[in-house]
A = this chain, B = another copy of it.
Amino acid sequence: MNDSVGIVKTEYAQFDTQLRLESGRLLGPLTLAYETYGTLNTERDNVILVTHAWTGDAHAAGVHSKEDRRPGWWDNMIGPGKVLDTDRYFVICSNTIGSCKGSTGPTSINPRNGRPYRLQFPVVMVRDMIHAQKLLIDRLGVTSLQSVVGGSMGAMQALEWGIHYPEMVRSIVPIAGTGRTSPMAIALNNLARQAIYNDPLWKKGNYRPEHPPADGLALARAVGHISFLSDASMHLKFGRRFSVRDGMFDLFGKFEVERYLDYNGGNFVGLFDTNSFIYLAKALDLYDVAWTFDSLQEALSYLRCPSLWFAFSSDWLYPPNQTEEVVEELEKQKKPVEYHLIESAYGHDSFLVEPEKFIPLLDTFLRKI
């Protein structure tokens, strides 16, 4: 594995501060989980910040031990000789606030009462996530980001970075993103939330960690899985195949696509905190780059750096026309902007499943920055 960053360790940065959130509430002290790959150069200007999606974490590349068989979530993108080349770049990925993967979120201890926040945790927006990340970037002594690169919720973060820290960001690469979450995406998140609320084990967020609302969370995750896939990718993967173990006329018999959803939904339960899932869904729903601005136009006017955008033809969660709305406005404002619509059958998940389709374009772009 010459192209792996090898064994890496998640670090935890503590910030004895009170972050003023978009809601007006204060959050602190803060912990941010993060990983870095590669070496910061003496000019401190070879930094690429990678921003993760909804259920992602700081572990974007490498493995956590020799025995670890599951590399980080974007390992095919980050490493020596890869597009986010750790021989050239110092790559940083941090877990967002509101998540449950090491950064401050609903599972963290509320310093006011010594108990986990749970639903006492304040609603956070994507913008709050990047302000928290900024604390980490400062702590690491970094004053300039060569690029901020991320997919889905990561794309939202990249755009927010470009707009709110224009003096610091030299380029952004939002992939499979949107300028504002559509009512369709909100509606799907509503299903997911409701699935959790309906589970009696949820207990208004006061479930015991060892007894989470498993059925509700599994169903919520299944909603997500459907929205990340596409009709075409489901045809490729499952077609109309019926489970060989079930009778077709058994009311509870399952098609393979159902088995997949059930299995992966169930698996997710041990991997993610239910309240964090809800808070991050809320952050996604509230996302609108024009928040606190008069308009999309005004918000985008603050972006100075070159931006590279990818959308995927079969993505129906954040469909191409949503990226194009932003790109067209940037073009109107004569900003340096590059956009590629990538043909892919893998829906929203394409940014994870078929990175080879956009890696060469990303490589060319980054070399020009």
| Chain A residues packing against B (C-beta within 8 Å) | 22-25, 119, 122-123, 180-184, 186-188, 190-191, 194-195, 198-200, 215-216, 219, 222-223, 226, 229-231, 234-235, 237-240, 248-251, 254-255, 257-258, 261-262, 278-279, 282, 285-286, 288, 316, 319
Contacts and interface: CB of A to CB of B under 8 A. Distances in A.
Given A187-B258, A239-B183, A257-B186, A219 B231 contact: no
Contacts of A258: 186-187, 190
Contacts of A319: 231
Nearest to A196: B198
A190 B261 contact: yes
A215 B198 contact: yes
A25 B184 CA distance: 41
Contact of A279 (B22, B187, B251): B251
A119 B249 CA distance: 12
Q: Which secondary structure dominates where chain A touches chain B?
A: helix
A194 B219 contact: yes
A23 to B, nearest CB: 4
B184 A250 contact: no
Contacts of A223: 191
A25 B223 CA distance: 34
A216 B216 CA distance: 11
